[in-house]
Structure 1
Amino acid sequence: MSAHARPSRRSLYGMLFASSVSIAGTRVSTIALPWLVYTETKSATLTGLVLTAEMAPYVISKALGGPLVDRRGPRAISVAGDLLSGAFLALIPILYAVGQLSLPERVPLLLTLVALAGAFRGPGDGARNAMIPAVADASGVPLERITGLDSTLDRASGLLGAGIGGLLVGAFGAAQTVAVTAGAAFLSALVVSLFIPRVSLGDAEESGSYFTRLQTGASFLGKDRLLRSILAMIAVTNLLEAAYISVMLPVWVHDHGHGPELIGLLGILFGGAAVASSVLATTMAGRFSRRTAYLAGFTLAGAPRYLALALGAPLWLIIGSNVIAGLGNGFINPTIGAIFFERVPRHIVGRVGSLADALAWAGLPVGGVVGGVVVGAFGAAPALGAAGAAYLVSTTVPGLRPEWRDMDRSRTGVSRE
């Protein structure tokens, strides 16, 4: 980034606010859309397709949008992504209100609108992440602290969005509630356009086609063993989380005579604990070993709560395992963000970041399908046990590799411009 193109200090607050609004709005739709499909069709299969329809194009477009973020700047891509994704989501309540989105007949149309919204949201989200180094330069706040603030607000916004989504669906209906997500996208675009200046991440003299630029990002990831190992771990855990949230947990709760309130309670406790520990991680940035915090956080975040359900533990222990999991989870994202921005050269942060996010999220579109197959074949408890064991292995074995020592070395490494 050019030294003459630094954003003003207010960009820190603008970026954090825009990201929070976007996350909260997205969480509202994750409550509203599946509820709309299931209540109208009574089909679990069609309901599961909503996640796949959104996340598959989201992951692909995020991976392919990186060179555009570097070339056009994160501000332009973020605003365009929010406006276009919001426009497609806004069509859902409008078409439903005029009788043109009746289900199940119009499920293909609904899935198409969701897919288009996801396709444009992917590059927009990647662009907002790419703003972080420039914001750190302007504010004088360390990268680890900004990524911690961003992670904390994302957690809090997700909790708020889920709560608002549930209330709005009950009060106004699922289709109408999607309008809130569209409005949040438009508000995010407005805030970014007002508070984030035009910043070009790429080198103006860099030559090469779009595909050459994309290859540059892929090549960098391929050569960085630490980032590659981290992404592989996250891809596995995200797949397991998708299977857990969409299939394993609901089936276990139903089969053990509990209601959906338990799912909501576990989610709130997990998310609230994650917010608290993320605040702690942000406050203590630079005072602890990243490697230890990251590996301990992942060890606590997954396997214990999976295995508690699998073994039929008492309800108080299941609840406690979710609180502990949330506390561990809050240390993960701030660490990942700080390591990433310290290791990636500034002029390719957009394309590398977009590819990295896409790889990390690659398991989400198929996680629900995998969970459904395994639960259908073996039952919820065995599936949870296998998932817990897989989670434990995937989050402990990689940490034994020598490149993971670089997590703490990167603090004192040379700044990459």
Structure 2
Amino acid sequence: MTRHGPLAVLAAATVISVGGTRLSTIAIPWLVLTTTGNPVLTGLVGLAEMLPYVVAKALSGPLIDRRGAKRMSILSDLLSMFAVAIVPVLFWSGLLSIWLLLPAVALIGILRAPSDAAKQALVPAVAESGSLPMERVTGILGASERLAGTLGAAGAGALIAFIGPAPALIVNAGAFGVSALVLWAGLPKPARVTPDLAPYGAQLAEGWSFLLQDKVLVSLVIMVAITNLLDQAYAVVLLPVWVRSAGFDAGFLGLLFALFSGASIAGAAVAAAIGQRLPRLTVYTVAFLLTGLPRFAVFAFELPTLVILATITISGLASGFLNPIISAIMFERIPSRITGRVVALIGSLTWILLPFGGLYAGILVEGAGLALAWALSGALYFLVTLAPIAVPSFRDMRRRLPLSTV
């Protein structure tokens, strides 16, 4: 295998699994919204999946370090394949109610979490095996995630429009199975390492201790957690409700997601190519400012559709720079011995508010109306994106550290 081989395999598995997940994040809320017409219930379903996801991700880190990131990713993808298939089976059998859907999506969240964390934990090994710069690896994988979002969103819109949300979920289930197969067949067998015999609780505590002592990582976690809450509100409730109220269908919803993700691919590709030469803090700050407020403001002010499409494109392009920068900083600072547990904790904490994004937006839309919900959410996003300017710990992002192997 060439030195780029492992990176290509991981990128392919990421595109397949994340693309499938993106499909379900559109299909399930659309299924609830079109069958109930209730934005609060739509947000509640998002909460039911993401809250267990966050908890499971936080707890999966020691297992990834013990069992290996490749093995955990494959196992989780296979189990996720069966979990996702439960929803359409219940729908077709006439048994699907909100009270059965909630535990079903919770199971999906629990099983998907270790897979996502394990794929991310594979990044340092992939970079080392090919002697590749970390920002190039994270940029390519960031572009892969955005490509997955584009394909998943476009595919979701088309599939839901033509065959309905329940059949579309079968495609999602199949994607998890293919992802597991790609990793199993494509990644080389990992080198045997000396097992860490510390108790599970001690391993988890070690990850927490390391994370809490690193001020840069703590600052990043807090900022991204809040913006993720608002992004989830945007994706799960605000945008679907706007699309439906404006008279568009699921195909147009998929187009909006695909436009954002497609532009993000370009941004991540640029980050992969020249990221090492860019000023990290400046790019991070400007990219977040362009990603957040404009995307909410165009809907709050009810601007023309062409302006909305242009703004979403610009915001998507800027967002492509964010994950490569964040991931490179993270892997530079985390010792390889505890990569799994710290990466899982960071992933969990940055998503800790995300389960409440849909519920927050649903309640806000019901109580204050859609226009005010857009305006308030955009204003909050803007305030949060000023943090790199106001908080001193962000300034240490400027330094590039050697990849940690301690």
Please tell me the TM-score bracket, short chain as reference: over 0.9
**1:156–1:272 Cα contact (<8 Å) kept:** yes
**2:221–2:346 Cα contact (<8 Å) kept:** yes
Counterpart of 2:96 in structure 1 is 103
Counterpart of 2:375 in structure 1 is 385
Counterpart of 1:170 in structure 2 is 161
Q: More displaced, 56-65 or 155-164?
A: 155-164
Which of 110, 114, 127 is residue 123 of structure 1 equivalent to? 114
Instruction: Give the Å deviation of 1:8.
Output: 7.0
Instruction: Give the Å deviation of 1:216.
Output: 0.7
1:35 has 2:30 as partner: yes
Instruction: Give the Å deviation of 1:360.
Output: 0.6
Q: Aligned partners of 1:7 and 1:402: how far apart in 2?
A: 42
Which of 30, 45, 60 is residue 65 of structure 1 equivalent to? 60
**2:285–2:388 Cα contact (<8 Å) kept:** no
TM-score by structure 1 length?
Answer: 0.90
**2:364–2:373 Cα contact (<8 Å) kept:** yes
Q: Aligned partners of 1:305 and 1:96: how far apart in 2?
A: 34
Pairwise mapping of residues 78-93 of structure 1 onto structure 2 (< 5 A)? 78-93=73-88
Q: Aligned partners of 1:284 and 1:365: how far apart in 2?
A: 34
Q: Percent identity?
A: 42
Structure 2 unaligned spans of 5+: none
The number of residues matched between the two structures is: 405
Counterpart of 2:284 in structure 1 is 294
1:344 has 2:337 as partner: no
Instruction: Give the Å deviation of 1:239.
Output: 0.7
Instruction: Give the Å deviation of 1:276.
Output: 1.1
1:375 has 2:399 as partner: no
Which of 237, 248, 251 is residue 259 of structure 1 equivalent to? 248
RMSD between superposed Cα atoms in Å: 2.3
Q: Secondary structure at the residue paired with 1:319?
A: helix
Counterpart of 2:395 in structure 1 is 405
Q: Aligned partners of 1:239 and 1:230: how far apart in 2?
A: 14
1:353 has 2:346 as partner: no
Counterpart of 1:149 in structure 2 is 140
1:235 has 2:235 as partner: no
Q: Aligned partners of 1:183 and 1:110: how far apart in 2?
A: 20
Counterpart of 1:76 in structure 2 is 71
AA aligned opposite 1:26? T
Q: Which contiguous aligned blocks of 4+ residues in structure 1 show a shift greater than 6 angstroms?
A: none
Instruction: Give the Å deviation of 1:102.
Output: 2.9
**1:298–1:395 Cα contact (<8 Å) kept:** yes
1:350-377: per-residue Cα shift (whole Å, max 9, x none)? 0000010111111211011111222333
Q: Aligned partners of 1:126 and 1:171: how far apart in 2?
A: 33
Q: Secondary structure at the residue paired with 2:339?
A: helix
Q: Aligned partners of 1:168 and 1:413: how far apart in 2?
A: 45
Structure 1 residues 306, 36: CA separation in 2 closer, same or farther (over 3 Å shift)?
closer
Counterpart of 2:271 in structure 1 is 281
AA aligned opposite 2:119? R
Which of 379, 395, 398 is residue 385 of structure 2 equivalent to? 395
AA aligned opposite 1:416? T
